[in-house]
Amino acid sequence: MTNAKICWIPGGGSGIGLAVAQALAQAGHTVILSGRRENVLAQEAETIRASGGKADHVVLDVADAAAVAIAHATIVERHGPVTTLINSAGYNIADRTWNLTTPTAFSDMMDTNLNGTFYAIGAVLPGMRTLQRGMIVNLVSWAGRYFAAGAGAAYTASKHAVFALTASLNLEEAGNGIRACAFCPGEIDTPIMLKRNQPPTEEQRLRMLGAPEVGELIRYIVELPPTMNITEIVLSSTGRSRSA
């Protein structure tokens, strides 16, 4: 396709990151999945290729600044400059209330959710400036735009910081043709939901946002003309079951 993009997706091995990768690959873009699990990344990249898409994978712990730089260099060597970055790597902890969260857990959360996002952006910016174009989508979460009961102090703080990071990108880099979107969805039905202390029921999951539909929305954002930028999207479920 014309205007095909090189799309790097930290956190692309599962959940919303994988859904975005699948949507972008189906639209003809090249996707590079990153994450810590080699076997998962390889399998998902192969599945995308088997469906006719262009996919690669690079193992990465986003909390490691040196590893992020090496991963980015590997991608550029294989595919050329990254034109689209989808920062979907992130997590929450089980013990997230004030009386349970430890300093170590808080620090680890910031290392992945905030610092990892910063490292990936820092890696791609020089190339995007040279190209005078680029799209960065940061998966922020509803809890990063508002305050959500149960999200926890560490997660809320990290995601609010990513929202601010996105705004600063648009202020400073718009003149270089670089756009950034803070994507703030409510609950999305992904496998990580099953890791909660009290996992949602099947009925509750069906009333959440669907990962494939969210992936398609992010694809739409990525494919907007370079003269347009959706700086933030706050997205919630209507509460209706997707099985209806």
Lookup result for tokens 């929202």 = 163
Chain-centroid distance of CA 99 in Å reads 29
Helix, strand and coil in the chain, % to nearest 5: 50, 20, 35
List the structure tokens of 244: 């209806």
* Phi, psi of 2, deg, nearest 5: -75, 150
Annotated catalytic residue 119: no
For the chain, where are the E strands, in sequence order? 6-10, 30-35, 54-59, 84-87, 134-139, 178-185, 188-189, 209-210, 232-235
List 91, 119, 155, 220, catalytic entry? 155
> What amino acid positions are annotated as catalytic residues?
155
